Homo-oligomer: A and B are copies of this chain.
């Protein structure tokens, strides 16, 4: 049954899906509603035509500019730099942030050929004066690559703008006993005064 084999092989290419899960999924499709299958299939086939990157911030959008860049109610003086669109969605979910975003779609990785040009850092730098940004929040991950990228961008932006970095420390609900050494060190470095 080459139609089935081909589908299972393609599904197995999706990260997180092994051959067994792919097979189980294909057999589910074989009994699923044809209208549902048609819609799902077209959703996958045409996803990349229908969703483009916002030319201003890199977020995904179906229009010319994304819904965050065109939202007049947002604070246009603050810009949050993230590695990927998933991070933007997670920040949005907190409801804590009301400013704009800039999605890098990656981190600096010289060994993989990803330098400042590949990340489009020039466009990021230009946004600051062009849009009158007053604070840039660097929200790359607290990993070696994320920290390196944040440091590089910090230097690139120079003194023209206030630059901050997301706090690193113990996760809420976390436990000192199980936290790793680096996280505890960061939480000490970033300790906050408690009002009496």
A interface vs B, CB < 8 Å? 1-4, 6-7, 10-11, 13-17, 21, 23-30, 32, 34, 36-51, 60-62, 67, 84-86
Contacts and interface: CB of A to CB of B under 8 A. Distances in A.
A26 B40 CA distance: 11
A27 B88 CA distance: 13
Given A3-B47, A3-B50, A30-B60, 16 more contacts: A1-B51, A1-B60, A1-B61, A3-B51, A3-B62, A4-B60, A10-B39, A13-B36, A15-B24, A27-B84, A27-B86, A29-B47, A30-B51, A30-B85, A32-B48, A40-B41
Contacts of A51: 1, 3-4, 30
A40 B44 contact: yes
25 contacts: A2-B62, A3-B43, A3-B51, A3-B62, A6-B43, A10-B40, A14-B25, A14-B28, A15-B28, A16-B25, A17-B25, A23-B86, A27-B84, A29-B47, A30-B47, A30-B60, A34-B48, A37-B45, A37-B47, A37-B48, A40-B44, A40-B45, A41-B42, A42-B45, A45-B45
Contacts of A48: 29-30, 32, 34, 37
Contacts of A30: 47-48, 51, 60, 85
Interface of chain A, main secondary structure: helix
B50 A44 contact: no
A28 B17 CA distance: 12
Contact of A16 (B24, B26, B39, B67): B24
